[in-house]
Amino acid sequence: MQDIWVEKYRPRKLSEVIGQKSIVERLSAYVKTRSMPHMLFAGPAGSGKTTCAIALARELYGENWRDNLIELNASDERGIDIVRGKIKDFARSASIGISDFKIIFLDEADALTSDAQAALRRTMERYTQTCRFILSCNYSSKIIEPIQSRCAVFRFRPLSEGDVRTYLMRIAKGESVEIAEGGLNAIAGLAGGDLRKATNIMQVAASLGRKVDADTVFESTENIRPSEISEMLTTALGGNFTAARSRLDELIARHGLSGEDIVAGIHRAVLDLPVSEDAKVRLVDCVGEAEFRMVSGASERIQLEALLAHFANEGKRAK
């Protein structure tokens, strides 16, 4: 599905960006001085890295922002040729308008190979007078140290549920979508701080043509309700492993989710279970072990049932 609402409601100015106040203040200072260093934007998906880069370019260059900004995705072209070709050609050319430099926005820079990053390091150094780089990545540890030392590092954090709800209400008003409080809470919970994901979930739910409430959100996204996971775990903790296993079968048959999706739901639900702190520690450890084994290729069904067995044993121990 196209990210139609994501693009339509993308903030055009830095002042419209939500959830990243300290970062917006620093970037706004660069706009006022009309000067900026190379920058590294690091943080989870959907936290506003691309939005901040585009908004910064809009405020620096005005109507000429498209001529002075080039967006490249390193996951599409991740080898050394992209650095020696497109990036170098754009970096060496002069800017258009009143600014002394242009901007190269390199998204998913952590996908660049080591050789490409080494070549990029030299390009950043050589063409500083005519070009500034903004590198965006999810994991700054995958960017080589020489590049990090040449950049001002901005660390983006996941958006709070309050910020997500505020943004969704803005979209609901603009699109004349009726959304209930339960629907807002469900979307904010499923998004996990990813504003792009939240926007797409809302768009899918609204496409059903009725009021966006919790039922609509879970139905349209085929996600398990937290209450369903909690009921299954509570049943297991009560010592009824067979009934908990039957609930697991129902969830898999009804939603068609992968084992990792169910484990993620269990992980979110563990902290709200009515068990002691020591029991939660042991259960989270079991959840992590099950997830690791699934990623390593173990049978999802066996690992999920083994996980429920741990919950049943923990319930018996508590008694």
The CATH number linked to 71 is 3.40.50.300
Tokens of 246: 């039957």
Same domain, yes or no: 189 and 129: no
Tokens of 74: 């390193």
CATH number of the domain at 299, please: 1.20.272.10
Same domain, yes or no: 25 and 123: yes
- The closest of 211, 208, 188, 183 to 198, measured between CA atoms, is 188
β-pair partners for 152: 39
**Across the chain, what does the average pLDDT equal?**
87
Q: Residue 109 CA to chain centroid, in angstroms?
A: 16
Same domain, yes or no: 133 and 173: no
CATH number of the domain at 194, please: 1.10.8.60
Residue at which a domain ends, from 100, 132, 155: 155
Q: pLDDT 10s per residue in the chain (319 long)? A: 446 888 888 888 999 998 899 999 999 999 999 889 999 999 999 999 999 999 999 999 888 888 888 888 876 665 566 666 677 777 777 667 667 888 989 888 888 888 888 888 888 888 888 889 999 999 999 999 999 999 999 999 999 999 999 999 999 999 988 999 999 999 998 888 899 999 999 998 888 877 888 888 888 887 788 888 999 999 999 889 999 999 898 888 777 778 888 898 899 899 888 889 999 999 999 999 999 999 999 999 999 999 999 999 988 887 6
Same domain, yes or no: 107 and 18: yes
User: In angstroms, rounded to a whole number, what is the distance separating the alpha carbons of residues 151 and 42?
Assistant: 11
pTM score, whole prediction: 0.81
Whether the CA torsion 307, 309, 310, 312 is positive or negative: it is positive
Q: Which domain holds residue 19?
A: 4-155
Residue at which a domain ends, from 155, 189, 211: 155
Same domain, yes or no: 240 and 280: yes
Number of structural domains in the chain: 3
Same domain, yes or no: 231 and 143: no
Same domain, yes or no: 188 and 306: no
Cβ neighbours of residue 84 closer than 8 Å, sequence gap 6 or more: 119
Q: Return the ∠ at Cα 203 (arms to 14 and 201), rounded to 5°.
A: 85
Same domain, yes or no: 174 and 232: no
